Structures are given as structure tokens and as C-alpha cells.
Amino acid sequence: MSASAKDWNIQLLPAPIAADNKAPQIVLPPIVAAEVFLETPLLQPPELVGGLIHRETVTMFGGGSKSYKTFTVLDLGLSVSQGVPWWGRNVVQGRVLYLNFEIAPAFFQHRISTMSDAKGLVRPLRDFDIWNLRGCARGIEHLAHPIIERCRSGNYAIIIIDPIYKLMGDRSENSNDEMASMLNYFDEISTEAGGAAVVFCHHYTKGVSSTKAQIDRVSGAGVFGRYPDGIITLTPHEQSNAFVAEATLRNFQPLAPFVLRWEYPLMEAAEDLDPKKQARKAGRTPL
């Protein structure tokens, strides 16, 4: 049964305002002595993508304009939901929710169908939910709690938010305080949605990205290079239609850069290309 336009909409709520302009009360955990803390071993959140993504974390995918970021995270979502490898890495199968703020539903439907066929996935697809929200973009303070309410019973392993600029509202992309307040909502979504990993897309600044440190290539405030648990980027290679994948990971061992070649509609490993040879000219790599 096809979804109606009503199913794609959400109830937009005003941001909560504390009475008398006072900060809302929060309950903080206790301070504990180190030996008390060490007495009970804590289980780490399970890995979803080997060596790259845990549950209960926030991961940012960065890339230049039209660098196939949506294709990349859509591939990730399909791989996890269907339990098939992604970028040659093992995944743990889990339910996925894709919050699509940018692509019109008809075109997004075509992308999913085309990519599913290219990956040889068995239909009907399981455990992959799409929430088409184009036209519903608002500041995250208006959207976080409706999203949480829809996700509480979903048992999602990953929630993909694409793209982040649709949720900035009146915030300045260059303000550390304003971007940190927005990213804090992603932690809340992860926690309240049962420990789902939150994955989001962000764009590079203009200019030659390869001349900047990997964590500083995305546009806006420096907090983008500090807040996420994982920062995965796709930077143009000097060979056309190829990208150097790099990852800065808080909870995993360092990962050596590698090259992916764009073969519509998928990124495929390009082991014949040197990841040190990134493009040195501004602009998109020619097709």
C-alpha cells in the first residue's frame, strides 16, 4: 500500500520555553571514584559497521557539493538493513530509518530501486524505513521531539539525517555555540530512540579541500571537527570520478585512507589508485 502525502508530514511543534526564562532542571549522574567506576566492566555499544560505526554514536559524512553523499549514506542504510557488507566491511544487520529532507519522493524512490538492483538485494526489502520530509525543514528544536516520538518504538540501529543544513533554522553555520546546540539534539535522538547510531551529511567549504586537514574540510564552525564520534569524508582524487575516503574515529583504531571509484549508482573500491593523489584544483572532478 503506497504512503499518502499525509504520511510524509509531521506535526511541527514550537521549541519548549522554560517558565520564567529559567533553564530547565536536569538530573545529572553522580560523581564516582575511579576504583568504584572500574569495579563493574561496561559493555561497549555493538559495532554496526566493522571498524567504523558503533551504535549510540554520532557520525558525520562530509563531501563537496554533488559528491554523491546521499548515494553513499543510502548505500550504508541499505547494507545495514539487509545485512550485507558495505565498502567491503562486515555489518551487523539492524533496522534503519532514513530521514530524507532533500530529494523529492519520486526521485528518491528511483534511487532506492536502482541501488537495490545494483547491489543484488532480495525484494521485498526488510527493516528499511523512509521518512520523506522534503518541505518540512525547520530548526532542529522544532523537529527533534516529533522525530523522537516516532522513533521510540522503532528499534532502529541507525537513523540517517540527510542533509544537516535543512535543520539549522535561523542558526549560523559559523557559530560554534549554535551548531553545538543543534548537534546536542542528535545525541538526544540517539538516546531516546534506544541507542540508535545517528548519521548525518554535511558539505565541504568552497575551494581546494585537499589543502585542509581532513576534520576541517566541512563548512562552518570548528565544532563539526570535534563533536562527532566519527568523521568520514570523500575528497576528489586527481583521477576523474574517484574519491579518497578518510576517517577520523574517536572509538576505533586509525584507518588508512583508501580510494573509491564512482560507478553509478555505487562507490566501488579502487585499489589501483593512490589515496595520496588527491585533486589539487577547486571544483568537482569532471565526469
**CATH code, 142:** 3.40.50.300
Residue 30 belongs to some domain of the structure: no
Residue 117 neighbours by CB under 8 Å, 6+ apart: none
Residues with Cβ within 8 Å of residue 220, at least 6 apart in sequence: 173, 174, 179, 202, 205
Among 7, 12, 8, 5, residue whose Cα is nearest residue 146: 12
Q: Looking at the predicted structure, is the pLDDT value of residue 99 above 60?
A: yes
Please indicate, yes or no, if residue 275 is contained in any of the structural domains: no
Does the structure show a pLDDT above 80 at 283? no
pLDDT recorded at residue 3: 44
pLDDT for residue 102 is more than 80: yes
Residue 4: pLDDT over 80: no
Task: Let me know: does 241 contact 287? Beta carbons within 8 Å.
Answer: yes
pLDDT digits (tens, 9 = 90+) for 261-282: 999 999 999 999 999 999 876 5
Question: How far apart, in Å, do the first and last CA atoms of the chain sit?
Answer: 38
Average confidence score pLDDT of the chain: 90
For 138, the domain range is 43-231
9-62 pLDDT, tens digit each: 445 545 554 445 566 678 899 999 999 999 989 999 999 999 999 999 999 999
Domain count of the fold of the chain: 1
The reply to whether 128 falls in a domain is: yes
Confidence of residue 65 (pLDDT cuts 50, 70, 90): confident
Q: Is the pLDDT of residue 286 over 80?
A: no
Who contacts 150 (Cβ-Cβ below 8 Å, separation ≥6)? 10, 131
Mean pLDDT, range 94-122, rounded to an integer = 97
pLDDT grade, residue 75 (50/70/90)?
Answer: very high
| 33 falls within a domain | no
Residue 266 belongs to a domain:
no
Q: DSSP label at 204? A: B
Q: Which three cell numbers stand for residue 209?
A: 579541500
Rounded mean pLDDT of 133-158?
94
Question: Is the pLDDT assigned to residue 8 strictly greater than 70?
Answer: no
Residue 260: inside a domain? no
Q: What whole-number percentage of the chain has pLDDT above 70?
A: 89
Classify residue 35: in a domain, yes or no.
no
**pLDDT tier at 153 (50, 70, 90 boundaries)?**
confident
Q: Does pLDDT of 184 surpass 80?
A: yes
Contact 186, 58 (CB under 8 A): yes
83/207: higher pLDDT: 83
